[in-house]
Structure 1
Amino acid sequence: MKSNHKSILFFTTLACVVLSSPSQSLSSSTTLTASDRKRLEAVLEPGWQLTDLNLVTYAASGYKHLGLKVPNSEAACSYVSGQAADTNANTEMLFLAASAAVYLGCPITASPHMKQTLTESISESSSLVEVYHAVLGLHRLKENIDTAKVLAVTQAILKKDDGVLNLGYAFHIGSVLSGDVSSLHSRIEDAVVQADEVDGRMLQFEGGLSITALVVDGAYKLSEAAKRPVPLRPEQAVKFANYLLSRKSVQLPKGVHYLLHALTMFTNNKYHVPVAISLASSVAVSAAQPSVQVSISDLMGNNIPGADVRVTAEQVTRDDDGQVLASSLQLTAVKDSKTLYELDAMALQPKRGFHQLSVTAAASDKRLVGNTKALLKFKVLTSISLERVEVGTADADQSSAPTLKEVVYGSKLAGGPLEADRHQKVLVRFQVKDTTSGKPTRVHQAFVRITHSSSKREIIFKADPEPSSVLYKFEMVVSASQPQFKGVSGLYSMELIIGDACISNPLRWNLADLNLNFPATKPTDSAEAAVDYTYKPKPEITHKFQEPTQRPSAFVSTTFTVLCLLPLVLLLVLWGKLGINVSNFPFSLSALGFHLGIGAIFGLFCFFWLQLNMFTTLRYLFMVGVFTFYCGNSMLSKIAAARKESSK
């Protein structure tokens, strides 16, 4: 029973939090701007050199969708007609030529050869892209198309390969056919479920921009041709739109062609028109610039359809504590603009800091999607002033009260430099006031910069707010700060630096000169520390290696050598006295080689101690070791074989 009460309490609390916090609907936060159009135009320009039919077609398509004038349309039309008249032209070239002619506004007449080439490509032995080129080519040449044959061929090819790319081609094929194309329309859902979601905001197909734009564009066009609803939810349409806009920096003419085709489709179809809601003004508002401007447009940057567009600020909330400053505020249209709306944010008397604006753009057009509760961020700037600024010194051991002098902002401490030695500490106290509210405030950055007058070497300290008051305080004990100053005494300037992301007048104020007296240090160290190395090469660092240890005297080294050789001498003496049993020694080349190798290894170690380095020793040891290993293995094998023979 107790657990049930806890569960009810938990879900009640969760519901309260959800209801009290502003919800965000998925929407597009960017659009095709004027700078984007200029950049895309530059990508398409090489097509007008009239050297490649692909580039000419992509350039003609892009210029049409951007509403640009073709630089030399007559020459372009002549070039396209010449390419179409080529008797060696294949299906793809004829498709490109027919498409370019339509985009340029100079349709070409299909010759018998062109009709034959395109018609023969509509067969089950062709790939679906060839069928796509053939069908779309015939359509753009305004020739009759055998719908039944095309549908049968398309379905047969899809049975072999129904990948996303082939489905995209099939959608475009179906969009230009007359009659019942429901069999192709039913495949749209099969394609959509294969889309990958990115960050919960975008949908894309594997293969990138071209495939995604081809499939989405084809799905909407096929739905219109079939006169059936497109099987995409509004949020899916917005996610596909977001992906397309994320690729507006494409650098290839082919990508520009597919991108503009899809974006144009999203601005003019019967089902979904995504709305782009973005901040058009600066992210900062202040008393000088009190309004937040919001852009409401379609994906191409044009005004959204409908003459009764109403833009509403659902909520204006403060980020710090989530307080709702206002709700259901109507934004006013900016004069001489069809896409801009503004809200006087400063009229809400917001505090300094970051805020969120939830925007909804409503209209009678039911096709609009992504137009509700789009979250935009802005920040409120206020100006600040410094008051109650005091500078002085005090005994480091706090044996006496500090001596402080008040300084007015903009002036400098009167009476000459402030003197401080190792027995004292430097104090700075000040208050930061918000000029809008007239109340003390805190800032993100408050620093005191102390700069040497001659070397320009600077040390920066942080000024911290006192917990129990509204004052900022800086303390520097001179003796404890000696390492930071490298013990360099002399005249310093003391600056106060105030900064914050939400203030309009960051401050830098040279409030006093400071004469610091540190205990005497080595003259060389002090002189080196006082040199200003700003924009200058520092002195070269010279490494001093440790001197090798002096060798012992000849007597000591000789005595040590004799002591090391005594066990060997003792061994030889005992061998001579007892006799050496060499009856089991196998007198063979392998045995001789093994013992010579062992001796060579010991000799090599002796040379290592005397004159060789480690790398040379290892190189020789590898060669000697291989020889010794081979001989030792052979010797032991023969000994084992001899023992086995004698035991029989």
Structure 2
Amino acid sequence: LFGLFFLSLALSGAQALTPSHYLSLSDVARLQNLLSQQFTDLESAYYSVVGLTKLGATVPDHEDVCQFVKSQLDSTSVDSLFFAAEISRAISGCEIPVSNETRDLLLAAVSEDSTMTQIHRAVTALSSLGLPLASQEVVVLDAFHITMALQTASQLSQQAELGGILEEIEDLTARLDDLGGLYLQFEEGLEATAMFVTAAYSLSDHMDMEPPIKEDQVIQLVNSIFSKKSWDSLAEAFSVASAAAALSGNRFHVPVVVTAQGPATVSHSQPTLQLLVTDVMSQPLDSANVVVESAYAVASKAAILNQAPFTINDGVFELNFMSSQPASGYYQFTIAVTGDSRLVANHVELKVKVSTEVAVTNMDLSVVDKDQSIGTKTTRVDYPSKAKSSFTADSHQNFAMSFQLVDINTGVELTPHQTFVRLHNQKTGQEVVFVAEPDSKNLYKFELDTAERKSEFDSISGTYSLYLIVGDATLENPILWNVADVILKFVDEEAPATIQPKTLYVPKPEIQHLFREPEKKPSTVVSNTFTALILSPFLLLLILWVKLGANISSFSFSPSTILFHLGHAAMLGLMYVYWTHLNMFQTLKYLAIIGGVTFLAGNRMLAQKAVKRYALFTCTCCHPPTPPLVCLFTHPTTITATIAMQPLGQSLHCVV
């Protein structure tokens, strides 16, 4: 069940995907202005002339352009021939002279040794100049160069086997990056994405086969290509113009852009909803049929319209929605655009606002005595006039107000989103605002109990101007009405001695942050005891040295010995500095330097001590008639050893 639910959500989301970006008329004009810049070489002339042609704009001064092309043409350059051939095809009456050498040059460029760009430009130039070409040979060469192959294949004969290249469109589409479900683009950027769209639809039109691109992917490509409103170069502007022309004039997919002419708002004074139905270049689709499939009120979900057709008037589709007598509010439209099988994103959701004018009626003002000892006198005030006399209320009385809000055109009672009662002190400028609420019969009532509400007025007595404020997004005439003057009297002893004007724009009181209190330190006795325990091993060492005597007679004052002990002391000092100042990474850096020096010095010191120790041994050898020799090694202090020595060549080998 949940799977079906999420599947229906996904399908509804896919159907609701519509172009959120396209070329508006101002965008097209800005694009034409960029492409109309004075060109300086054949490449810029190609981008300008062909780009303007794709936008449907007129290229001025065909003869001057043709003369410029012929003067800049280099018949030994494939690129130059490509630019010239494309320009000559875009404008009328400009023929490029073609010699046998030119034909041979272009045919020679269609080879395995050429780049894909050279092959594409050579094939396009041959096609534009009307020169024959073996199309099947080019297909074999292009099969591994998908992107440029699409553009090249659209220039080849339909007799060639182009189906394999057309199938590659689906593979290229799979390589597009999906950005949030709204955009599809190549990581190479806008120009690569736009030229892919141009090439895909050019080849599809050439082969009369629908490209393997899904409709939602078409819309994502449209959003990606036309989301950028300024272009960095002529080449980028040319690619956008080419993509716009391809998406507007191909045989299979034409995205539809449905927009309201002006705000999507209708009223009794403007009852007609007007829509513009265009392609991505804001050109009207006059052959389209536009129908409101359904329309319902957003608040109540009540349907009000079904299968209502629009009529076309001077390129604008119109519907008299007010003839259905809708109440003011918002309505959700589902609009279908038909009339052409190529149309994509032709089901559009549109929110329409029905606005109206509001009138205030039955405005009654009165002062009500709390104990009912005095009869209530009610005064009616007509909008927009002000009550002639003021109203006085003290702590024993309540001020009351009641009124109704109705639609001027239909007389239907309204409940706008914002209905306020404002009391403004004429002397101090203080303002107090209350919300007026309707009852079950949509009658607004407001009652002010001066005794209970005195804190909101800071117990400031005086004359207050009474205003009624009515506002709503669907109202054409929001109301700010000065209804009357009300004199409020509070208890004198509760009033402040000095009346200060109240303002909301004052500095806020400083926030005092309460941080966590530090933990209490241990007592001095505990600290001293802990320190004594730490130092006790060192004190014990000193006592034993004094008692037993310290033998330092063998201490060597060689550089390695001194350096070793200094390094060891430095490492102990580094541990202290680490505890007080350094972090772990800084300590490791210093420790590596000190430790390396200490290690080398210690190794040297121990080697010297070993040599010195063996030099103290003496050997007394006995001389038996036959080996092994027995020698007695003695040390001046403690060691005596007997070692058997075997002759080994000319030396003696000792065996312990």
Structure 2 match to 1:347:
323
Alpha-carbon distance between aligned partners in 1 of 2:459 and 2:48, rounded to the nearest angstrom:
70
Distance 1:582 1:488, change over 3 A: farther
Residues 29, 277 of structure 1: 8 Å contact kept: no
Match of 2:623 in 1: none
Of 368, 371, 379, 1:405 maps to: 379
CA distance, structure 2, for counterparts of residue 479 and residue 121 of structure 1: 98
TM-score, normalization: structure 2? Answer: 0.68
How far the C-alpha of 1:502 sits from its partner, in A, is 1.6
- Structure 1, residues 383-416: CA drift from partner, whole Å, max 9, x if none? 2211222334557999999775332211112213
Q: What's 2:407 paired with? A: 434
Larger helix share, 1 or 2? 1
Post-superposition offset of 1:420: 4.4
Paired residue for 1:145?
Answer: 133
CA displacement 1:315-347 (0-9 Å, x = unmatched): 23222233222322232221xx1x322111111
Indicate yes or no: 2:479 matched with 1:507: yes
Q: CA RMSD in A?
A: 5.0
Contact 2:74 2:80 in 1 (8 A): no
2:82 match: 95
CA distance in 1, matches of 2:437, 2:545: 88
Does 2:29 align with 1:38?
Answer: yes
Offset, 1:428: 3.4
Matched, 1:215 2:204: no
Which amino acid counterpart does residue 225 of structure 1 have in structure 2? H
Query: What does 1:332-481 correspond to in 2, within 5 Å?
Result: 332-334=311-313, 337=314, 339-363=315-339, 365-371=340-346, 373-393=347-367, 405-416=379-390, 418-421=391-394, 426-453=399-426, 456=429, 458-466=431-439, 468-478=440-450
From the superposition, tell whether residues 41 and 393 of structure 1 become closer, same or farther in structure 2 (CA, over 3 Å). Answer: farther
Is the aligned partner of 1:184 residue 2:168?
no
Distance in 2 of aligned mates of 1:231 and 1:142: 30
Whether the aligned pair in 1 keeps the contact of 2:28 and 2:281 (CA below 8 Å) is no
In structure 2, C-alpha distance between the alignment counterparts of 1:435 and 1:450, rounded to whole Å: 27
Q: Distance in 2 between matches of 1:262 and 1:286?
A: 40
Match of 2:466 among 488, 491, 494: 494
8 Å contact kept, 1:386–1:430: yes
What is the DSSP-based 3-state SS (H/G/I as helix, E as strand, rest coil) of the residue aligned with 1:473? strand
What is the letter of the counterpart of residue 82 of structure 2? F
Compared CA separation, residues 113 and 424, structure 1 to 2 (3 A): farther
How far apart in 2 are the matches of 1:198 and 1:110? 47
Going from structure 1 to structure 2, the CA distance change for 1:277 and 1:126 (only over 3 Å counts) comes to: same
Give the unaligned 5+ runs of structure 1.
1-6, 159-165, 546-563, 569-578, 602-617, 635-648
> Residue in 2 aligned with 1:520?
495
> Is structure 2 residue 268 aligned with structure 1 residue 292?
no
Asked if structure 2 preserves the Cα contact closer than 8 Å seen for 1:58 and 1:254, the reply is yes
Query: What's the secondary structure of 2:73's corresponding residue?
Result: helix
Is 1:84 the counterpart of 2:65? The answer is no
1:65, 1:264 within 8 Å by CA — same for their partners in 2? yes
Q: Deviation at 1:251?
A: 6.1
Which whole-Å CA distance do the structure 1 matches of 2:88 and 2:28 have between them?
23
1:57 maps onto 2:46 in alignment:
yes
Q: Separation in 1 of the partners of 2:458 and 2:248? A: 67
Q: Is 1:135 aligned to residue 123 of structure 2?
A: yes
Distance between the aligned counterparts of 1:55 and 1:488, measured in 2? 77
Aligned to 1:59, what secondary structure does the other structure show?
helix
Identity %: 29
CA distance in 1, matches of 2:190, 2:369: 71
CA contact (8 A) 2:21 2:222 kept: no
Question: d(CA) in 1 for partners of 2:275 and 2:296?
Answer: 16
Q: Hey, what's the Cα distance between the residues in 2 that align with 1:57 and 1:341?
A: 38
| 3-state DSSP of counterpart to 2:140 | helix
Tell me how far 1:42 sits from its aligned partner. 3.3
Secondary structure at the aligned position of 2:301 is classed as coil
How far off is 1:206 after superposition?
A: 4.0
Tell me the distance in 2 between the aligned counterparts of 1:35 and 1:425: 61
Is the 8 Å Cα contact of residues 197 and 246 (structure 2) preserved in structure 1?
A: no
**Residue 422 of structure 2 contacts residue 467 of structure 2 at CA under 8 Å; is this kept in 1?**
yes
Deviation at 1:463, TM superposition (A): 2.2
Distance 2:211 2:25 in 1: 31
Unmatched segments (≥5 aa) in structure 2: 513-523, 529-538, 551-561, 596-656
Compute the displacement of 1:442 (Å).
1.0
Aligned to 1:67, what secondary structure does the other structure show? Answer: coil
- 1: distance between equivalents of 2:503 and 2:174? 69
- Whether the aligned pair in 2 keeps the contact of 1:30 and 1:276 (CA below 8 Å) is no
Aligned 8 A contact 2:276 2:284 in 1: no
In structure 2, the residue matched to 1:571 is: none
CA distance in structure 1 between the partners assigned to 2:192 and 2:540 by the alignment = 90
Aligned residue type for 2:128: R
Q: How many residues align?
A: 542
Paired AA for residue 428 in structure 1: M
Q: CA-to-partner distance for each residue in 1:17-52, whole Å, 9 max, x for gaps?
A: 99xx9996655577643223222233334x32x246
Task: Work out which of the two has the higher radius of gyration on C-alpha atoms and give 1 or 2.
Answer: 2
Distance 2:177 2:371 in 1: 68
Contact 1:24 1:375 in 2 (8 A): no
Question: CA 1:43 to 1:464, structure 2 compared with 1: closer, same or farther past 3 Å?
Answer: farther
Q: How far apart, in 1, do the equivalents of 2:50 and 2:85 lie?
A: 12
**TM-score, with length taken from structure 1:** 0.69
